[in-house]
Amino acid sequence: MSDRNNIKPFRTTLLFVGGCAVGAVVGYLFKPAPVAEPCPPEGNPLIEAVAAFDATTLSEMLSSANAVRFYHGNDGTNNTSVAGPVDGSGKHLPTDRPIFHRYDGFFGTGPVITSIDETVAKEVVTRANPTWSIDLQKVAVQSMLNTPDCKAIALVERMTSDGIPTFDLVPVKYDQGKYRQVGTVRHTIIGMPCPNYCGEKDNYLHMH
């Protein structure tokens, strides 16, 4: 009898300890998983633009023009762009005294565009290295500006796979002092600019 009395407490204690161990494992396995942090919102990327021209400026240039010509330029410190309206023959308008528009950066609530004459425009354009231009037809400009949320058309410098410099023309909106692409890939125009000129030589600032 004394042996049995000595064994029972031992068995009870062993089961109790074992029960605690099993309980700890089961509790760990069924512990609620931590709530996952939400994924960051998806959206179009911010872009590094050499220049951007707002919808108002572009619409004014196209009021009596067939296209807008964008030139690669340099303001003496940074690369930029000069834009000007052209007619059906590729000549700048007004033909007697062409007016051009230089991109001077993003300040406040949008791009700063300065109207300049042909002499100043030529200085900015010929200072660029390399020099080239792109003509964007009126219907293409209007199509890009009709992209939802579009506030401006930005010019992004890029090198082609053949090592040729080019512009991509991208519809953008303003986002805290930067440009954010809007629309989809089909709203972007991949330009193949003329490194020297396309058409009549005298129609281009950098070929005068």
pLDDT of residue 94: 93
Dihedral through CA 8, CA 12, CA 17, CA 18, nearest 10? 100
| 36, two tokens | 């996952």
Q: Looking at the domain assignment, is residue 188 inside a domain?
A: yes
Q: Looking at the domain assignment, is residue 172 inside a domain?
A: yes
pLDDT of residue 114: 97
Model-level pTM?
A: 0.76
Q: Looking at the domain assignment, is residue 96 inside a domain?
A: yes
The helix or strand, by DSSP H or E, that contains position 2, with its residue range, turns out to be helix 2-29
Determine the structural domain holding residue 170 and report its residue range: 46-207
Q: Looking at the domain assignment, is residue 173 inside a domain?
A: yes
pLDDT of residue 165: 75
| 147, two tokens | 């992209």
Number of domains in the chain: 1
CB 70 within 8 A of CB 121: no
One digit per residue, the tens of pLDDT, for the chain of length 208 reads 545 444 444 343 333 344 444 433 333 334 454 554 444 445 688 999 999 999 999 999 999 999 999 999 999 999 999 999 999 999 999 988 999 999 999 998 899 999 999 999 999 999 998 888 889 999 999 999 999 999 999 999 888 788 877 788 999 999 989 999 999 888 888 876 665 556 788 888 987 6
Q: Looking at the domain assignment, is residue 8 inside a domain?
A: no
Eight-state DSSP code of residue 50: S
Provide the residue type at 180 as one letter. R
Q: d(Cα 185, Cα 165) in Å, to the nearest integer?
A: 20
Identify the CA nearest to 71 among candidates 56, 59, 88, 86.
86
Q: Looking at the domain assignment, is residue 107 inside a domain?
A: yes
Q: Looking at the domain assignment, is residue 65 inside a domain?
A: yes
Q: Which residues contact 174 (CB under 8 A, 6 or more apart)?
A: 106, 109, 110, 151, 152, 180
